[in-house]
Structure 1
Amino acid sequence: MGFINNSKFRAVVVLAFIVGIGLTNRVFSQEAADAVAQAVDTAAVAVADTAAATDTVAATDTATAPATVASTKTTAVAAVEESGSDIDPQVYMNFFYGLLLVFFVCVLVGVIGRIIQVYELTRRMNGKDTTYYMRNFNAKLFLLALVLGLYGVYWSYVHHGAQSFRAAVTEHGAQIDTMFIITTVICTVVLVIMHIAMFSFAYIYRARPTRKAYFYPHNNTLEKIWTIIPAVTLTVLVLFGFFTWRSITNVSEEAQKEAILIEVTGEQFTWTVRYPGRDGKIGERDYRLTTPLNGLGIDFNDKSSWDDQLASEIVIPVNKPVRFQIGSKDILHSFYIPDFRVQMNAVPGMKTYFQFTATMTTEEMRDKMDDYNYDFVMLCNKICGGGHYNMQKKVRVVTEEEYQAWLNEQPYFFTEDLRKEFQLSQAANGDEVDANLLAQAN
């Protein structure tokens, strides 16, 4: 067909083919997933039957028990193997229909291309314009695309804005939100103005038989305008962000002393949380002291570490400053709590800090969102390996009374086994440790 020689139609055909293949693969993948799920369900039933048979065997004569159990296991294994090897024929049917759909779309595009060529040939035979009318048509499409695009921006802000942005629940988060909103407003204004200009110019200055293109290679005034204005705008935004960040991270020594100190250590693919205990101090660490029992390499020669507590989650009191001491055991991670506007790298061999004050409890946030399963979550925001997606820890903000009650229930790092290991290491080094003092450590 002659339309194939036209590059525009070739591009459309290729695009249609790619889209069709994507839809076909999606259908095929969905059907395959359904087949696998069905196989898993069948295997689960077989395992359940195995468990039931085992219970029955336990109540029967012991002489027949081994044969019955073996028979049941054989049946279960056969069911799993059979389920894993069978694929519903409908999967192949759907894949075949998908290929037919791709072929139909390509044929349809070809037919449309042929109709357009016949239409152009007819206009040429009647002595009518065959060049500028298509350019007029394309120019009008630009105007239509401009209207639809701007409406899409408006629709996205209205319907997706609340999903992508939610007010922070920390004191410093309000400053970051302000910076974010200002940047978004500036970018939106620039986006709207530039798209109106580009799409309108494509319509206004479309090719016409009475107009000749004017080449405008250089203008100092225009170049100064589109260089200086963006440069000044970006400079203001960068300085705004710099001073905002300094105000958040440069905490005075007095404010640091008032905050609750919590240590968070990242490793592939988990977080370890350590609270300071009654003395309010976190013991020092030394990677050379790491053992199977002492995974953090805590230096128990530092008596501040004797009452440090281990936590399975992060719990902090509302309206009270909290200072996180962040580190890593292996590679670079990132301590990230989206609702708090908190992010700081966890660097191996280096301590980093982030101090903030939460202004809303978890229960208040659940009431606000009308979602009583909602939790604040601390994530890793640096891709650190295959288990990165699951490297998270729940964060709860509670009242002061609830925080103290929770803290009193948390176990100590310095367990009985670690005390024995510490005593043995001290004895090997020729040092002595008061056993009574160790016994009173916690």
Structure 2
Amino acid sequence: MKLKINNRFRSILGCLLLTSIFFAGPVLAFQQDTVVVDTTAGEETSMAVGVESVVADTATSVDGIANGADSTAVVGTSSGDTANASSTAAEVKQIDPQVYKDFFYYVLLFLVICTVIAVIGKVISIYELTHKMNGRYNPLAGNTLQAVLLLLFLIFFLWGVYYSYTVWGNWSWRDAVTEHGEKIDTMFIITTVITTFVMIVVHILLLGFAYIYRMRANSKAYFYPHNDTIEKIWTIVPAVVLTVLVLFGFFTWRTITSIPEDLQKSALQVEVLGEQFMWRVRYPGSDGEIGKRNYKLTTAENPYGIDFNDKNSWDDISGEHIVLPVGRSVRFHIISKDIIHSFYIPDFRVQINAVPGMTNYFQFTPTVTTEEMRDRMNDPKYDYVMLCNKICGSAHYNMQKKVVVVTEAEYKQWLSTQSKYFTEDLQKEFAQQSKEVEGITTASLN
């Protein structure tokens, strides 16, 4: 026997489901609020008990001093217990109840939208059915409705394009702060203008024609199967435009990356190593040269895998942030320790991949200091930032490092305060390795 569920029962079941979800959200949120309150109260109680214990133990210690007893251990033990109790209570992480409220709010909003759409569809079906029963049904009425909706969408779309450029354009666009960035911006603006023009024209023709040439009574479409001229136009014109854009980008990139050898050597050398999920930065010392690397030498003390047999590495500096002098050419050596990352500084218009097993280079000259940029942005806390622009794992978002552009004098002052990468621990490790290598060499000679 088949169980039949009529539409009325389905409607009642759906209403009950919506009602249960509607009330379940606030209930769960209330329970979560209660847990948070109880946890907070527990922390306050434990702190109060701890304070009372400390006071009591302090009084005991005073009596102990009078009696010649040693009370220091008592106070220390009580304080330690209080700290442990407080830390244990603090370690209990609670989810913000607003998360539950927001989640169920959007679930309900989605269900409401689906319900509204379903109701509108049902009303239209009933409307068509009644007109069919009364003999007043017009099968072409839907075409006019669809054409009008497409025309309204075209108007809304054009308004959205205008709004995006006028309102959000300035918010999303900042002038480049490097010499080569101006070339990138010029290429971007030209490409944006061309593609925006094509997008607007295509949508006007597409949606406008859908309205103008909608199907009507007593109208017959003209059969127009082929036209060689039109085919050539919409094939050749896009091909020429795209070819020009590609060549424009190619020559722009070639101008940026083709640096004469003498300028490469005279630039400030900075090495950036990407790994999951952090960036490491290495500067050359007084010799101006970065020491060699060998991935086989990578250890916990030497995460770079620097080869200290190369004396140029002895004075290398490890920087917490990327600090650059304004107006001076900087050549970055970009490498990866594990997987592909992407060296990306948006304000500088710099992006290039960090690939395991090879070194990529990018050379540029910053033109605006951090302080000047803060004045432009009217934001005293604004900082340049280097990001990873390749999704490299679960903590990809952590791959950030602050970039600071300062004057030449400030850069030299900062450089003089940085510690060398070749620390005492690394020196001991290198000395031990040297002894082992020397012992192996001596044994082989004997």
Q: Could you say which TM-score interval applies, normalised by the shorter chain?
A: 0.7 to 0.9
Closer, same or farther: CA 50–276 of 1 in aligned 2, 3 Å: farther
SS of the residue 1:334 aligns to: strand
Q: Aligned equivalents of 2:90 and 2:360: distance in 1? A: 54
Residue equivalent to 1:439: none
Which blocks of at least 5 consecutive residues in structure 1 are unaligned?
A: 6-16, 432-442
The one-letter code matched in structure 1 to 2:313 is S
Q: Counterparts of 1:8-23 in structure 2 under 5 Å?
A: none
- 1:397 maps onto 2:405 in alignment: yes
Distance across 1 between alignment mates of 2:384 and 2:294: 31
Q: Which residue number corresponds to residue 151 of structure 2?
A: 143
Q: Are the counterparts in 2 of residues 57 and 69 from structure 1 also a CA contact under 8 Å?
A: no
> Which amino acid in 2 is paired with 1:180?
F
- Calculate the TM-score normalised by the size of structure 2: 0.80
Give the whole-Å Cα distance in 2 for the aligned partners of 1:271 and 1:93: 35
1:211 equivalent to 2:210? Answer no
The one-letter amino acid of 2:245's match is L
Instruction: Note the C-alpha offset of 1:386.
Output: 1.4
CA contact (8 A) 1:43 1:79 kept: no
Partner residue in 2 for 1:422: 430
For residue 103 of structure 1, report the CA deviation from its aligned partner. Answer: 6.9
Summarize the Cα distance change of 1:78–1:429 in structure 2 as closer, same or farther, 3 Å threshold.
closer
TM-aligned CA distance change 1:282 to 1:70, over 3 Å: closer
Q: Does 1:371 align with 2:371?
A: no
State the identity %: 52
State how many pairs are aligned.
Answer: 410
1:354 matches 2:354: no
CA distance in structure 2 between the partners assigned to 1:175 and 1:139 by the alignment: 44
Confirm or deny that 1:187 pairs with 2:186. no
2:421 is aligned with what amino acid? F
Is the partner of 1:430 in helix, strand or coil? helix
Over 3 Å counting, the alpha-carbon distance change for 1:72 and 1:414 in structure 2 is closer
CA contact under 8 A between 1:267 and 1:330: conserved in structure 2?
yes
- Counterpart of 1:296 (choices 298, 304, 316) is 304
Preserved contact between residue 24 and residue 98 of structure 1 (Cα < 8 Å): no
Which amino acid in structure 2 is aligned with residue 411 of structure 1? S
Equivalent residue in structure 1 for 2:336, among 325, 328, 332? 328
Contact 1:46 1:75 in 2 (8 A): no
Contact 2:276-2:392 within 8 A present in 1 as well:
yes
Q: How many Å apart are 1:51 and its aligned residue?
A: 6.3
- SS, match of residue 383 in structure 1: coil
Q: Deviations over 1:388-419 (max 9, x none)?
A: 11111100000011000000000001112222
RMSD: 3.9
| TM superposition shift of 1:112 | 4.0
- The structural deviation recorded for 1:368 is 0.2
Contact kept, 8 Å, 2:331 with 2:364, in 1: the verdict is yes
Q: 1:234 aligns with which of 236, 242, 247?
A: 242
Distance 1:99 1:289, change over 3 A: closer
1:354 maps to amino acid: F
Structure 2 CA distance, aligned partners of 1:243 and 1:318? 26
Alignment of 1:259-298 (within 5 A): 259-298=267-306
Conserved 8 A contact 1:170-1:340: yes
- Contact 1:285/1:299 (8 A) holds in 2: yes
Q: 1:345 to 1:54 in 2, by over 3 A?
A: farther
Residue 212 of structure 1 and its aligned partner are, at CA, apart by 2.2
Q: CA offset at residue 50 of structure 1?
A: 7.0
**What is the deviation of 1:114?**
4.8
- The alignment's TM-score, normalised by the length of structure 1, stands at 0.80
State the AA in 2 paired with 1:345.
N
Distance 1:34 1:145, change over 3 A: farther
| CA displacement at 1:352 relative to structure 2 | 1.1
Task: Please give the residue correspondences for 1:59-70 in structure 2 after superposition, counting only pairs within 5 Å.
Answer: 59-61=58-60
Q: CA 1:274–1:209 in 2, change beyond 3 Å: closer, same or farther?
A: same
Partner of 2:231: 223
Once residues 290 and 216 of structure 1 are traced to their aligned partners in structure 2, the CA distance between those partners, rounded to angstroms, is: 70
- TM-aligned CA deviation for residue 33 of structure 1: 11
C-alpha separation in 1, matches of 2:258 and 2:27? 52
Aligned-residue offset at 1:60: 4.8
Structure 2 gap segments, 5+ residues each: 1-6, 8-14, 61-70, 440-446
Relative distance call for 1:388 and 1:132 in structure 2 (3 A) is same
> Kindly tell me: are residues 304 and 142 of structure 1, through their superposed partners in 2, closer, same or farther at Cα, counting changes over 3 Å?
same
Alpha-carbon distance between aligned partners in 2 of 1:216 and 1:50, rounded to the nearest angstrom: 90
What amino acid is the match of 1:210?
N
Question: What secondary structure is seen at the aligned counterpart in 1 of 2:158?
Answer: helix
The aligned residue for residue 444 of structure 2 is: none
What amino acid is the match of 2:350?
A: V
Residue 429 of structure 1 aligns to a residue whose secondary structure is helix
Q: Distance in 1 between matches of 2:382 and 2:293?
A: 35
Q: Distance in 1 between matches of 2:253 and 2:28?
A: 46
How much does 1:84 deviate? 6.0
Look up the match of 2:417. Answer: 409
Would the alpha carbon gap of residues 43 and 363 (structure 1) be closer, same or farther in structure 2, given more than 3 Å must change?
farther
Cα-to-partner distance string for 1:18-52 (whole Å, 9 max, x where unaligned) = xx99x989x77995997487677567656755764
- Relative distance call for 1:409 and 1:199 in structure 2 (3 A) is same
Q: In 1, are the aligned partners of 2:275 and 2:339 still within 8 Å (CA)?
A: yes
Rounded Cα–Cα distance in structure 1 between residues aligned with 2:326 and 2:134:
81
Deviation string 1:186-228 (CA, Å, 9 cap, x unpaired) is 1100110001001111111111111123443332222211111
- Tell me the SS of whatever aligns to 1:379: strand
AA matched with 1:416: E
Shift of 1:262: 0.7
> Contact 1:39/1:80 (CA < 8 Å) preserved in 2?
no
Which residue does 1:438 correspond to in 2? none
1:42 touches 1:79 (CA, 8 Å); kept in 2? no
